Amino acid sequence: MSVLLVLAIIVAIGAVAFIVARQRGAALDSGKVRPHSRAHYHGWWAFLAATLPATLVFIVWLLGTSVYMERHIVAQLPEQTADSPIASRSLAIGLVKSLASGLRRLDPAQLDNLPTTFADLQPMLIAKGVALATETQDYMIPIALDADRTRDRLGMIGAIIAFVLAVIGAIYGIRSVAERSRARNKVERLMLWGLMGASMIAILTTVGIVLSMLFQTISFFERVPLSNFFFGIVWDPRFAAAGAGASEGQFGLIPLLAGTLYIAFVAMLVAVPVGLMSAVYMSEYAPSKVRAVVKPALELLAGIPTIVYGIFALVTLGPFLRDLSAALAGGSPFIQAQSIFTAGLVMGVMLIPVVSSLSDDIITAVPRAMRDGSLGLGATRSETIKRVILPAALPGIVGAILLTASRAIGETMIVVLAAGVAANLTLNPFEAMTTITVKIVNQLTGDLEFNSPQTLVAFALGITLFFVTLVMNIFALYIVRKYREQYE
């Protein structure tokens, strides 16, 4: 029985309980004594009593089943594969699993007289549109068949348990309808738990991010020493030799980190002055007509996806700068089509709206009295801005700049398209360098084998990126918050 069908039946039982309990609740209101809760609260309580425990138990049962099946399959694998290294054992398990799901597509008649060799079985499966790896062994067929049957049986038992629970819950919910029953309070308490659970998802996500990357990173550092990663100045993961074992690649973080910071630095050189100046102009000088045009235009700039910026750099700006530099130098171009300068410039433009909207908020938060005081003493507007408003807003602006820098460091699509893939260490901004995010994408797109350091290194890079941006974000948020309190 499919999972969705079971859940649908549970909900259906709950719906029946809701209708019955609501009717009984409505019947309570005789006009003399008002019952504690309105009829629909009784209905909802019966619904929740019927569905919640049943669904929870069913989900736990499903999780338990998949764990049990894994062990069940392992126990049945012949000795030599059970002892062999993790890679080939997990490969065998994977093969059995995909064979089992392939067998499900066959007709019952075909299943009854199943061929004993994979060579005979394969054409039958292919006729059903199932393509399997050729490494599948003959001995796996009975195991897969058994796995299918066990799983069906367990699924059936789980479904029956869930239905029984749903019916018991429904009866309990319906029977508890009474004049004094505080159904509203019970329903509201459950709702509160639901709301709280939803807000926990934020924490769960962060924990998920850290844990998922941590495990992969640990298994990466089991193969590659820490010093090789953090202090290595050569990035050469050797995809071609992956799996050969003899020649491990070199995973030096330094060139990637240098490229990331360099490009982010160039981007900030563009974004901070332009963004700050446009925020100042917009909040202090611009007539309302200009504001009405420029504000939506800046929002539009902020709403353009980064891939569009990346493609603009790749297709238009990069070749244009290369040709321009070739014309200037008279011959060979000194700006490469993919370069730090191009990527940084485009990223900087992308960040302008970020800087300007963040600093706009901060500048307008400076109290009116400070501005008026300065103007009243005879300072010009620009003097007021430079000597009074900006110093007062400085902590907030620093926070905004940090938040922007953390975005620049984590930006992916622009650098993937415009910065190049070669891990150089150079100071020349017109050459190509690569970044952490580019390498994460490079290592994880295409066919991947999950246990090689070539793919695991992406998680080590990811966790580095996560912690760098985490520190910057938290520090920035702290500054901004503190600053906001100062003037409230």
Partner 1 sequence: MSDIALGSAGIAVARPRRDIGLKQRYAAERRFRIYGMLAISVCLIFLAVMLITIFSKGYTAFWQTTVTLPITFDAQVIDPQDKRATDPNVLVAANYPKLVESALIAKLGISPDDKPMIGKLKGFLSDGVRAQLRKIVIDDPAVIGTTRDVAVLASANLDSAFKGQIDLAVGQERRKVSDQQVAWMNQLKADGSMAEHFNTGLFTYGASSRPETSGMGVAIIGSLYMMLIVLVLALPIGVAASIYLEEFAKKNRLTDIIEVNINNLAAVPSIVFGLLGLAVFINFLGLPRSAAFVGGLVLTLMTLPTIIIATRAALAAVPPSIRSAALGLGASKMQMVFQHILPLAAPGILTGTIIGLARALGETAPLLLIGMVAFVADYPKTPFDPATALPVQIYMWANEAERAFVERMSGAIIILLIFLMAMNITAIVLRRRFERRW
Please list every residue from 214 through 233 that binds partner 1, using CB under 8 A: 215-216
As a whole number of angstroms, the distance between CA 111 and CA 99 comes to 13
Q: Does 249 bind partner 1 (CB under 8 A)?
A: no
Q: Which residue has the tokens 């399959």?
A: 73
Nearer to partner 1, 6 or 264 (CB): 264
Contact assessment for residue 12 and residue 151, using Cβ atoms and an 8 Å cutoff: no
Tell me which of 409, 419, 433, 457 binds partner 1, using CB under 8 A.
409
Does residue 108 belong to the site contacting partner 1 (CB under 8 A)? no
Choose which of 89, 238, 381, 484 interacts with partner 1 (CB under 8 A).
381
- Among 20-28, 81-89, 226-234, 376-384, the segment contacting partner 1 (CB under 8 A): 376-384
Q: Please list every residue from 304 through 343 that binds partner 1, using CB under 8 A.
A: 304-312, 314-316
Q: Residue 89 CB, nearest distance to partner 1 (Å)? A: 16
At its nearest, how many Å lie between partner 1 and the CB of residue 111? 24
Nearest approach in angstroms of CB 100 to partner 1 is 13
Nearer to partner 1, 202 or 427 (CB): 202
For residue 106, the minimal CB distance to partner 1 (Å) is 21
148 lines the binding site for partner 1 (CB under 8 A) = no
Pair 338, 432: CB distance under 8 Å = yes
163, 10 contact by CB (below 8 A): yes
Binding partner 1 (rule: CB under 8 A), the pick from 91, 261, 294, 421 is 294
Q: Is 477 near partner 1 (CB under 8 A)?
A: yes
Span between the terminal Cα atoms of the chain, in Å: 60
Task: Give yes or no for residue 445 binding partner 1 (CB under 8 A).
Answer: yes
Q: How far is the CB of 126 from partner 1 (least distance, A)?
A: 16
Instruction: Tell me whether residue 22 or residue 407 sits nearer to partner 1 (CB atom).
Output: 407
Q: Which of residues 337-356 bind partner 1 (CB under 8 A)?
A: 349, 352-353
> Minimum distance from CB of 345 to partner 1 (Å)?
9
Q: Which of 78, 243, 296, 376 binds partner 1 (CB under 8 A)?
A: 296
Decide if residue 68 touches partner 1 (CB under 8 A): no
Q: How far apart are CA 445 and CA 416, in angstroms?
A: 12
Least separation, in Å, of the C-beta of 443 and partner 1?
10
